[in-house]
Every structure is written in structure tokens, then in C-alpha cells.
Amino acid sequence: MIVALQMNLATFHLVEPFEEARRSRSLPFELRWEDSLSDRDASKVRVVVPGTHTIDGAYIRSLHERFRNLIHIALPMTGDDGLDKSECASRGISYSRVRGYSTAEMAEYTEALALTLRHEVLRKALAMRDGQWNDKATLEMAGACVGIMGLGAIGMATAARFASRGCTLIGWNRSVREEFKMLGGRQVGLDELFASAAVLVIHIPLVRGKGGTEGIVNADLIARMRNTDFINPSRADLIDGDALLSAVLAERLHGVALDVFHPEPPFGSGSAWAKLCALDPGRYNLVCQPHMGFKKQGALRRLVDGVLANIWNSDLAS
């Protein structure tokens, strides 16, 4: 059996760890880069590892046209929000994803972004570069009210880090999390979360469709924030980008850190996300990062291990 690796895995910086796996591991299947496959080889492909978040119906149909015996898509990611599951089901294609490979890294990264905003690290550094001695006092992290939207594994790991700093914790989740209470946290509604948090972190998955989370952080919630440090390392489509842009331009927020955009990269798209990236980070205490939350060397190796384990531990390789 051949497992086809798409070259655009370079987007996720996974080419090197997959190449290492190809060279050094004895696997019950053959790892091949898609562009190296002949038509005869393509008929032996049963699994594809895609190199994109957006795996819609058209994408799946094109895969199935090239790989007629395709039966599984091994996602190199935790989220499956970009996958057209109904199209997969209609074609008898299963899928897998990798959970937990970057939980600690995401929590650490979130904490780093929060500290960067509270202490205005980038703002001060840019001022120094420009010959300005901006020694105005900044805000403490200890004792701040931290709001966490989403109390899954990453949200809870993030909560634990802020609890250790002596922060007051409030959180929102669709179900009760007793572990959050054990950290001293209190679950609240969304209105209170956005109105009360000095630091607000988004850690929920993107779920499209009726009753989902797409656009859940709407203009009304964004308007409740005042002098808040807002951090989103989850998905851009959770947020009303235009409303966030307006809040930043009106200088109603203390700081904003964004690690996700739509599209990615957003440059030239004319979207609110592109406009946010173009703003003066010193003036607005704005930190925009190129989707770096999970891109840590150890996490990427664990991600590849997880993809291979998902294939190996199933009956696909038999």
C-alpha cells in the first residue's frame, strides 16, 4: 500500500520530519511524495496525507479522481473543521486526526502572547528602534482576570499556567468542567466573560453550520471588551474580523495578539485580517504571527508520529 504525501505539507513545515520517517523507519506501507507517483503507482494509493486545512468537496473529488482506490485521509492536524465529512462519507473515505501533539506548546505560546501584550514588549522594542525612550509603566499579569473561551485540553493547560501566576480565572465552555473549578476558576456566560476579563483567550474549535461556533465572537461580544488584551490562537473564522478591526482602530483594547487569519496568508486579500496585519503594531500594541502556535520542532515530530500511528494502528495497512 502507498501513502501519498502532498508536497504542500511544506506549508505546515512537515516535509523534513516526513522525509526522516521515510528514510529511517520500517513501516508496513510505503510513504511517497505525490509528485513522484506514476499512474500505475497512483492505483496503489489508499491513504493521502493532505497539506491544507481546506479539504472541501471539490478537493476530495479531485483526490478521488487521481487515486481511485483512496479509502482514508490522514489529517496532519487536530482540527477537522476544514474537512467535508459528508463528501468523504458519500465516497466511503474515512479520516483520522492527531490529538494532543501540541497541547503544552499551545498553552506556553498563549502565555507568551499574553505577557507580550501586558508588558508591551513589542511596542517598547519598536519605540527603542525608533529612538524613543518609552518607559511608561505597563500592566501586571499576576492578579489579572484571565478569561478563557473553551475549556478543552488546550484551554485547561492554559488555565493552569495562568493560575500558577496568581491570576483570577473565568471561563466559558458548553459543558461544566470540574477541573476548572479545582484550579480556582469560575465558569460564566459569554457576556460576562467578554465584559470582565482583562486578558481574553480563545481556545475553541471551529464548527461550521447551524449551532456551530463560526462567528461566535460577534460584534456584540467584541463591544463588551474595554482595555482588554485579546488573544486568538484558534481559528480566524470564530471572530467577526470587521468588528475586531473597528475595536482596534478605536483603541478600545489594550492589546491584540492574532496567530490565525482568513485566508492564510491574508496579504492582498482586502480582508479585515489583512488590514489588521498592516496596522502599526507599536501604536496599537498589536502582535500578528504567521500561525505559529503548533509549529514547534518537538510538536511537529509528534504530529508526524501521530499520523503514522493512525495509519499503522488501523486496518488500512493490512
Task: Determine the Cα–Cα distance for residues 230 and 286; give it in Å rounded to an integer.
Answer: 10
Q: What are the pLDDT digits (tens) for 76-92?
A: 998 888 899 999 999 99
Is residue 317's pLDDT more than 70?
Answer: no
Residues 110 and 250 in one domain: yes
Residues 113 and 236 in one domain: yes
Assess if residue 318 is contained within a domain: no
Q: What are the pLDDT digits (tens) for 156-190?
A: 999 999 999 999 999 999 999 999 999 999 999 99
- The whole-chain average pLDDT of the chain stands at 95
pLDDT value at residue 202: 98
Q: What is the DSSP string of 183-251?
A: TT-EE--HHHHHHH-SEEEE------STTS-TT-B-HHHHHH-SS-EEEE-S-GGGB-HHHHHHHHHTT
pLDDT value at residue 7: 83
* Domain ranges, residue 247: 103-288
Residues 166 and 244 in one domain: yes
Is residue 288's pLDDT more than 70?
Answer: yes
Give the number of domains in the chain.
Answer: 2
Contact 198, 175 (CB under 8 A): no
Assess if residue 14 is contained within a domain: yes
* pTM for this prediction: 0.91
Assess if residue 41 is contained within a domain: yes
User: Locate cell 485547561: which residue?
Assistant: 156
Assign 263 a pLDDT band (cuts: 50, 70, 90).
very high
Residues 53 and 164 in one domain: no
